[in-house]
Amino acid sequence: MERRRLLITALAGIVAVVLLGIVILMLGNGPLPLDTWWHDLMVAWRTDAGLAVAEALQLVGAGFWSVVIVTAVVGAYVFAGRPWSAATVVVAVLVSQTITGALKFSFARPRPEDSLSTDAMTAFPSGHTSMAATLAVVLALLIRAWLATILAVVWIVAMAWSRTYLAAHWLSDVIAGAVLGAAVALLTWTTLDSMERAAESPLLMLPKTPAPR
């Protein structure tokens, strides 16, 4: 029953992101009032130090360095003899980025006109944020420690902030990316954890061979 609730929660998160995208599209595909308020706030608060941090997060959050990070995490789990954990990370990242790319193409929401990001893709949802949320949440679920959960939240918030600080995305873009990434991570972890338990259970149920007399 608990796993069923987790699956429903994950699917609801994905559906919510799609519905948000549809609503934004129906309203003209531009910024919502909350998006405009947050965008103006971020621009007003810009400093050289803040831009440097945001640009560093942009660099780490996608492209070459994101591949390096995912490869390192997967390699660590394989080396530790945890192939199911490695598979969970790979599947979660691939599914998350596939859905993100499909939604970006489908909704084609323009970025803010004053965007400092050099990325060519459209705005909704934020790919950097969905990637950050996917990896952070799936690792928190695999590690199952309160510190991992706190670090996951901090990382997601930091990445979401950086995308709006650079005007690469509207606030609704990064919220959608965070929800999508977390939902896919939860869906993947729940599914593969169930598969791992099912694969191991027959071994646990084998009858014991009586010792020879």
Phi first, then psi: give them for residue 108, nearest 5 degrees.
50, 45
Tell me which CATH code domain 2-39+48-194 carries.
1.20.144
- The model carries a pTM of 0.88
What the block records as the tokens of 50 is 């803040």
Contact 131, 182 (CB under 8 A): no
Over the stretch 35-90, which tens digit does the pLDDT of each residue have? 999 999 999 999 999 999 999 999 888 788 889 999 999 999 999 999 999 999 99
Nearest to 159 by CA among 186, 183, 125: 125
Over the stretch 139-179, which tens digit does the pLDDT of each residue have? 999 998 999 999 999 999 999 999 999 999 999 999 999 99
Interatomic CA distance for residues 73 and 135, integer angstroms: 9
User: CA 73, 85, 157 angle in degrees (round to 5)?
Assistant: 55
Task: Let me know how long the chain is.
Answer: 213
Domain boundaries, given as residue ranges, for the chain:
2-39+48-194
